[in-house]
Every structure is written in C-alpha cells, then in structure tokens.
C-alpha cells in the first residue's frame, strides 16, 4: 500500500521497542495487582516477558529464565535499557544463526525471528540490519531445502510488514526475483511455493509499485487459473498439494485486486467470475472457501464501481452457494462442513441482499470493524501472517494502523483506560477513517490505470 516516505522512527516515539518497554513498566507500577492484564498483550494473553522468553527460547540459557522487566537478582527492578540490550543481544544471535553451516541451526534462527517479528514491533532494531537479514534470506531461498525456503519466505514477508514504506519496497525489489523463481519451480516443495505465493502478495501490497503490481498479479494468476475448467467445462484432476498452492495464490491475487483501478477491475470481473464459479465444485474445502470469498470480493468491487452491477447467471450462482451453505455430505469431515457452511452462508447472504455481517476486532482500548469483503481480505492476509501477534501490531505498527485508518499508536495509561467511548462512536470513527483513506487511494488507482 503506498505510504508517504517517513524518516527513521526515534526510540522514544510510539510503537518503538523502547516505548513499548516503558509502557510495560509504567503499567506494571500503576496496577501491580493486574500484572499480565494490560492492553499491551496479544491474543495469547501472555505478558511481554513471557513472549520474549518464548520467542527467543533457542538462544536463552537457564540463567536468563527470570524476567528482565520484573526484578533483578537483588529484588530491585532492572533498568529498562538493560532489558532492551538483553533482548537485542538475543536477536543478534538469531541473525548470526541464519549464517550458520547447519541447516538445523538456520531453521531455529528463522523460527525464532518469525516469532519475534510476529509478536513485537522491532523497526528501530532492524532498520539498520535489514540488508544483512535480506542477504541471509536470499541465501536460504536459493540454497536451502523446502522447509528452510518456506520459513525464509514467511520471514521476508514479516520483515516487509515491520519496515513498511521505502525500505519494504527496496527489499522487495531485491528478493522478488528469488521469490518468483521458487514460486514457479515445479520441482520445489509445495510448502515453499505456497509460502512464496503468500509473501509475494503481502510484499507487493505493502510496497505497491505499479510495475510490481502488474507482474505479481500475472504470476499468481498463472498458478490458480490452472485449476479452471477446460474447454469441455470439466475441472482438471488436482495434483497432490496443488489445492493448497492454488488457494495461497488466489488469496494473494485477491489482496492485490483491491489495489487495482476501476478499469482493470472490470476486466477481471469479465474474465474470472464465470470460471471461479465453476471452481466452487472443487474437491478441496479450503480452495472452495478461497474461491467463494474471492467471488464475494469481486462482486463487491463491481458494485462499488457500478451500483447496478449484476452477476451474470446470478440464479445459478446462488443455487450453488446455497448448496454449499447447507452441505451435509457425510464423506466430508465435520469441521470442514461446519467451516464451509459458515463462510458460504455469508457469501450467499451478500450476493442476494448486499448485506455484510460486521465483525469487531478488539485490541487494547481500541476496536477495528471489518465491514466489507475488501477489508476482510486485507485483515485476513495480515492475520494469517502475524497469527496471534496481529492485535499487538494493530496497536503499535504504523503500517497496519495506516492501512486500516487507525491513526498514530495510542499510549496506554490509566487515564486512557478510564476514558471510554460508545461502540457506535468507535464504529463511526473507523468507518470514516477507512472511507477517507479509500478516497485517497482512488486517486492513486486512477494514476495506475495507464500502467495496467
């Protein structure tokens, strides 16, 4: 997503590692009886100290098991600068592990950094080390095995989310050829290709240069369109693991569609809607769900462009969606049936009545309202990548807050916690911010029209 160029964020600004550590200390002092229940925790409910211990477990020792932010050996609070230095030392060790000769050590380093990137905002630490980390990831993508390639691609997507702006665009231009090579390599592992497809979508969305957008969408299209029906209208027999790859490619492509200008969206509607409808008969439940959500997204974009937009052969589409929303076939797993019915009830409801079920995401003292298929695709993309850390990033990551129109990070203190506004007021604020950002993006999309 295009963002204005920002200078280096100082250590005292909201969202920095230093600021977060200070916030934890202040909250702990203000409410010692409520330790672990402040607004800084992620979905898992763990404290920041527990997260640090878990994230960097492979390079921790028994002597470091005591929390650095609580008490020292003598019962006195440890200086926050010392705690920050200890955390940075562990992160530096993880980076060193990426250059180790042992594949096992490199994998451990990749996994530890993945957890760190997911659960914390580490811009200040990695802005000076981004080239080193990028070089290590490039080496893993080129020479590593399937598991290492998959982990490296995921970590690179997380690095782009951490940095954002010009730094993310610079890194994407450097690693895009390698991501593309693994993605299009039929001999690479399915897990590695799937991870590269997701990384390609996320990184292109964050950097969002016109050339990258066109190229990335074309590559992703070339993957999932191989599941389209042939000239006789028959779906091809899927190869082992192809459904997962096609799902990742389709979801990454759908994320990038939200950046396209209206003229390009109209072309995509004519080309893909009829064939995606045929893919609803796929034998893989996750691919069917990805197809259903993509159809709803395309229809929503079509209606945003033209209020009178109608789906071709909508009656047949609704019959198919209704069948999937009430599917009771015993040969499908119970959880798969439940998940499929829930999603396709929402898709059918939207196609028939243009009504979207609003979802509320709470984090700290704030809330984010998912009130459209466009917003859901964007949120789901970052949630799949950040996992349980998505709420922490919604609180402190300037990139995500910019994308969802949340403004600057809010410093949590007792005064803020005691000030509450109504749910309706929060919804109005979020909706207004998102609409304002959409209007601004439309200007950018219009400039892309010539390129597309």
Phi, psi of 366 (to 5 degrees): -110, 170
Nearest to 266 by CA among 226, 298, 231: 298
What pLDDT is recorded for position 444? 57
Q: Bridge partners of 363?
A: 366
What pLDDT is recorded for position 29? 43
Q: What is the pLDDT of residues 112-135, one digit of tens each?
A: 999 999 999 999 999 999 999 999
DSSP label of 308: T
DSSP label of 366: E
- Taking residue 113's Cβ as centre, other Cβ atoms within 10 Å add up to 26
The residue extents of the domains of the chain are 359-448
Cα(145)–Cα(135) distance, rounded to whole angstroms?
17
Band (3; pLDDT cuts 50, 70, 90): very low
**Helix residue ranges per DSSP H, 144-236:** 146-163, 165-183, 190-207, 210-224
Q: Bridge partners of 50?
A: none
Cα(296)–Cα(346) distance, rounded to whole angstroms?
9
164: left (phi over 0), alpha (psi -120 to 50) or beta: left
Secondary structure of residue 359 in the 3-state scheme: strand
Q: What is the pLDDT of residues 209-246, one digit of tens each?
A: 777 898 999 999 999 999 999 888 888 888 888 999 99
Token couple for 346: 């929402």
Greatest mean pLDDT among 41-45, 177-181, 427-431: 177-181
Percent of the chain at pLDDT exceeding 90: 56
Secondary structure of residue 450 in the 3-state scheme: coil
Element housing 253 (H / E):
helix 242-257
Element housing 390 (H / E):
helix 390-396
Instruction: Calculate mean pLDDT across residues 300-317.
Output: 90
Cα(116)–Cα(426) distance, rounded to whole angstroms?
30
Secondary structure of residue 305 in the 3-state scheme: helix
- Whether the per-residue pLDDT at 273 is higher than 90: the answer is yes
Element housing 368 (H / E):
strand 366-370
- Of 230-239, 303-312, 440-449, the one with minimum mean pLDDT is 440-449
Q: What is the pLDDT of residues 11-56, one digit of tens each?
A: 334 444 444 444 444 444 444 443 333 333 334 444 444 444 444 4
Phi, psi of 370 (to 5 degrees): -90, 100
DSSP label of 238: P
Instruction: Calculate mean pLDDT across residues 297-315.
Output: 91
Secondary structure of residue 53 in the 3-state scheme: helix
What is the average pLDDT value for the chain, to the nearest integer? 80
Answer with the residue of higher pLDDT: 87 or 192.
192
- Whether the per-residue pLDDT at 74 is higher than 70: the answer is no
Greatest pairwise CA separation for the chain in angstroms: 77
Q: Considering just the CA atoms, what is the radius of gyration of the chain in Å?
A: 23
Cα(20)–Cα(120) distance, rounded to whole angstroms?
9
Band (452; pLDDT cuts 50, 70, 90): low
């Amino acid at each position: 997503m295009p963002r204005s160029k920002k200078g280096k964020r100082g250590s005292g600004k909201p969202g920095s590692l230093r600021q977060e550590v200070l916030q934890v200390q202040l909250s702990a002092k203000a409410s010692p009886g409520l330790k672990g229940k402040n607004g800084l925790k992620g979905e898992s409910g763990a404290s920041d100290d527990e997260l640090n211990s878990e994230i960097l477990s492979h390079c921790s020792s028994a002597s470091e098991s005591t929390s650095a932010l609580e008490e020292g050996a003598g019962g006195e609070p440890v200086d926050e600068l010392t705690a920050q230095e200890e955390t940075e030392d562990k992160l530096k060790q993880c980076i060193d592990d990426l250059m180790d000769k042992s594949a096992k050590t490199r994998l451990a380093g990749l996994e530890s950094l993945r957890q760190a990137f997911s659960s914390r905002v580490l811009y200040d630490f990695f802005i000076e080390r981004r080239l080193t980390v990028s070089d290590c990831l490039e080496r893993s993508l080129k020479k590593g095995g399937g598991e290492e390639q998959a982990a490296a691609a995921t970590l690179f997507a997380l690095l782009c989310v951490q940095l954002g702006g010009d730094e993310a665009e610079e890194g994407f231009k450097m690693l895009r050829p390698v991501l593309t090579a693994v993605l299009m390599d039929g001999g690479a592992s399915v897990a590695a290709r799937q991870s590269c497809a997701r990384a390609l979508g996320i990184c292109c969305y964050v950097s969002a240069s016109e050339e990258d957008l066109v190229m990335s969408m074309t590559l992703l299209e070339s993957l999932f369109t191989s599941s389209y029906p042939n000239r006789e209208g028959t779906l091809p027999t899927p190869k082992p693991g192809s459904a997962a790859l096609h799902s990742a490619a389709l979801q990454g492509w759908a994320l990038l569609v939200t950046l396209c200008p209206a003229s390009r969206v109209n072309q995509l509607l004519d080309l893909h809607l009829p064939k995606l409808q045929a893919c609803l008969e796929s034998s893989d439940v996750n691919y069917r769900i990805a197809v259903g959500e993509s159809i709803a997204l395309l229809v929503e974009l079509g209606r945003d462009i033209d209020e009178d937009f109608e789906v071709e052969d909508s009656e047949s589409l609704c019959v198919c969606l209704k069948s999937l929303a009430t599917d009771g076939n015993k040969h499908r797993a119970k959880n798969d049936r439940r998940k499929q019915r829930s999603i396709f009830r929402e898709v059918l409801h939207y196609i028939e009545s243009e009504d979207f079920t609003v979802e509320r995401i709470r984090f700290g003292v704030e809330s984010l309202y998912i009130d459209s298929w466009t917003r859901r695709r964007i949120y789901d993309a970052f949630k799949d990548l950040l996992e349980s850390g998505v709420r922490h990033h919604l609180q402190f990551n300037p990139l995500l807050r910019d994308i969802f129109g949340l403004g600057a990070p809010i410093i949590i203190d007792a005064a803020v916690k005691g000030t509450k506004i109504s749910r309706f007021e929060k919804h109005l604020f979020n909706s207004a911010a998102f609409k304002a950002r959409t209007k601004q993006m439309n200007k950018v999309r219009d400039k892309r029209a010539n390129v597309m």
